[in-house]
Structure 1
Amino acid sequence: MTGHHAAAYVDPLTLAWVGRHLERGERVVRTEALHGGITAEMRRLTIGTAGGATRDLVLRSFVDPLPASRAQDWLNRETDALNLLGGTGVPAPGLVAADPTAAHCAYPSLLMTHVAGRTVLDDEGVETRVPLLARQLVAIHALRPAVRPREYETLTTAGTVVVPKGADAAAWAAAIDVIRGPAPPGEGRFLHRDFQPGNVLFDIPPARPAAARITGVVDWAVASWGPADLDVAHCSTVLALLHGPTWGLRFTEAYQEAGGVLAAAPGERLYWQVRDGLACSEEVRAVARPWREAGRTELTTRAVEERLDAYLTALMDASV
């Protein structure tokens, strides 16, 4: 089994588990690989109904080797987040079933409803999408769950940063010094924690691109509780790498224009912006690969490193 068919393959054990969560008379009639994920394999499952119609579900499975506790934690977080988001107005998938410990599936898995729309990573139309992303993130941060998700984590340290070859050494050294200090205190918010264009679905009418709208926000595996700056900084970094540093800087403005509230002190905002940029330095290769698979072939690892350097340098220059 090779190529497309291999990518779409779902093992019989997992298919049997899916079948137990379908309505009477339903069955899986087609499987399709969904691209763009880094840590998990995504499959769209077309379900044939008893009446002859079809509907789609999405299967998320952690196939690549990683600690079982990590996969279980991510799927438990996503399960909790999807349960929380139902009825909130945030366009997220609905939870169907979860098997975080692979008790019934070949791999830790989660089954959810399919959300219409598509990810859009092209430069064209970014000026329309950035305000939409900002407004959607403000809406997420406005949620006040009765049970808070786990506190945020930041794993990057001054010692784990990977300075790209040819980068502005002075700017990177100054940025690393910024994160040597303690994290600024901040008011907690419900965080997606990986809010960025690759996890947002759009409907964009071909004849009216300015009428674009967001139809879904996916991948809630690291939903957390922490300062809004964390989510804003992450989306800013990704926009800078996808579309250029200017759009990374612009997103912070768009978030505030949409009513979002960030840390009051510029130095505190800089801390989170820099921390996320430095964190990205450790995984540039992994970040760039799905973008190239999605058609952005010019975004080689080296090209993304250069954009990261330009963005980080711009942040440090603006702070002087």
Structure 2
Amino acid sequence: MTNHEEAAPVRPLTLAWVSRHLEVGERIVRSEALHGGITAEMRRLTVGTRDGGTRELVLRTFVDPFFVERAEDSLDREAGALTVLTGTGVRAPELVAVDPTAAHCEYPSLLMTHLAGRTVLDDEGLETRVPLLARQLVAIHALRPSPRLSASIEQGSPRWRPREYVALTTADTVVTPKGADAAAWAAAVDVIRRPAPPYEGRFLHRDFHPGNVLFDVPPRRPADARITGVVDWAATSWGPADLDVAHCSTNLALLHGPAWGLRFAEAYEEAGGVLAADASERLYWQVRDGLAFSEEVRSVAQPWREAGRTELTTRVVEERLDTYVTALMDAPG
């Protein structure tokens, strides 16, 4: 019988739906909210097994009206990505069940396995983690979904791949931070007025950054850190490798300082990744992602503070974003 007191945060219909996807004799014994997400509620569910042990699952639920409207697409992308990733060298959760239209749950939901490890957002040890992040992203971009896996997602399709990437930021929606270098920002906005450069499509995570990568970091040997998995595949897309690299670069710049944002593209190439050959094309993707953050600084900074980076106020993040965008525009080439 389900422990309703421990599992109370999970809504009744959703709880019943989850229970139907457990093994015979299993029950939910605990529910814990996971923090750090922006678009959805995340919960870790502890499941009691028939042999007296436990295992853990993760439940993603879209509840905000803005994101509920987009949940079907996001959950279809994530379900497809998790299915394709099974058996590859990229460690990701395994799909258990998905209800993208809330046919069974109160809200659109996805149930998946839980991965060991934790997110690490501290500055300490960054020189070790950045190359690991770069190598992990190169591995993601190297994925070529097999026809066998494709068939389980989309019957009749010779090869499944995510939808084309979407970049919502436009030159007219950029929000220039107070006190920013007006000339640099104006020049950056002019960059994204141009048509997107041609590119060779790659399998993109589309939200790859330290908050979506799990690490095992031995307390006494931080240099022996290793990645245990990558989570949050709801934005999986098909597009230029530069876009994923730019997104992680911007996150590193805001979390750890602009110099780390500038460093990541180098680390990606050192790991064997291939970026646009033309400097102006690279700049386009870097600037497009940096400017996209101008519209959501507050929502980005809040989860970081909740995770312990209390010094990252909205104002501090805005200042780092300004420094980073200015540095991109000042870079030679």
Provide TM-score, normalisation by structure 1. 0.97
Measured after TM superposition, the shift of residue 8 of structure 1 is 7.2
Aligned to 1:20: 20
Aligned to 1:192: 205
Provide TM-score, normalisation by structure 2. 0.93
Deviation string 1:229-264 (CA, Å, 9 cap, x unpaired) is: 000000000000000000000000000000000000
> Could you tell me whether the CA contact under 8 Å between 1:237 and 1:277 is conserved in 2?
yes
Q: 1:15 to 1:236 in 2, by over 3 A?
A: same
Inter-partner Cα distance in structure 1 for 2:226 and 2:206:
21
- In the alignment, is residue 114 of structure 1 matched against residue 114 of structure 2? yes
Identity of aligned residues (%): 80
> Could you tell me whether the CA contact under 8 Å between 1:240 and 1:248 is conserved in 2?
yes
* Paired AA for residue 285 in structure 1: R
Measured after TM superposition, the shift of residue 268 of structure 1 is 0.2
> Could you tell me whether the CA contact under 8 Å between 2:135 and 2:268 is conserved in 1?
yes
Inter-partner Cα distance in structure 2 for 1:316 and 1:307:
14
> Could you tell me whether the CA contact under 8 Å between 2:28 and 2:46 is conserved in 1?
yes
Deviation string 1:157-176 (CA, Å, 9 cap, x unpaired) is: 10000000000000000000
Inter-partner Cα distance in structure 1 for 2:7 and 2:111:
18
* Paired AA for residue 312 in structure 2: L
Pick the aligned partner of 1:251 from 264, 289, 292. 264
Inter-partner Cα distance in structure 1 for 2:321 and 2:234:
25
Q: Secondary structure at the match of 2:308?
A: coil
Pick the aligned partner of 1:278 from 274, 277, 291. 291
> Could you tell me whether the CA contact under 8 Å between 1:204 and 1:211 is conserved in 2?
yes
Inter-partner Cα distance in structure 2 for 1:56 and 1:116:
10
* Paired AA for residue 153 in structure 1: V
Deviation string 1:4-58 (CA, Å, 9 cap, x unpaired) is: x999711111110000000000000000011100010100000001110000000
Aligned to 1:166: 179
Aligned to 1:264: 277
Q: Secondary structure at the match of 2:140?
A: helix
* Paired AA for residue 296 in structure 2: E
* Paired AA for residue 306 in structure 2: E
Inter-partner Cα distance in structure 2 for 1:219 and 1:178:
30
Over aligned residue pairs, what C-alpha RMSD do you find?
1.3
> Could you tell me whether the CA contact under 8 Å between 1:284 and 1:301 is conserved in 2?
yes
Aligned to 2:49: 49
Q: 1:136 to 1:8 in 2, by over 3 A?
A: farther
Structure 2: give runs of 5+ residues left out of the alignment: 146-158
Aligned to 1:96: 96
Aligned to 1:308: 321
Inter-partner Cα distance in structure 2 for 1:178 and 1:8:
50
> Could you tell me whether the CA contact under 8 Å between 1:8 and 1:32 is conserved in 2?
no
> Could you tell me whether the CA contact under 8 Å between 1:196 and 1:234 is conserved in 2?
yes
Measured after TM superposition, the shift of residue 68 of structure 1 is 3.9
Aligned to 1:132: 132
* Paired AA for residue 109 in structure 1: S
Structure 1: give runs of 5+ residues left out of the alignment: none
Task: Give the paired residue count.
Answer: 316
* Paired AA for residue 248 in structure 1: G
Inter-partner Cα distance in structure 1 for 2:259 and 2:68:
39
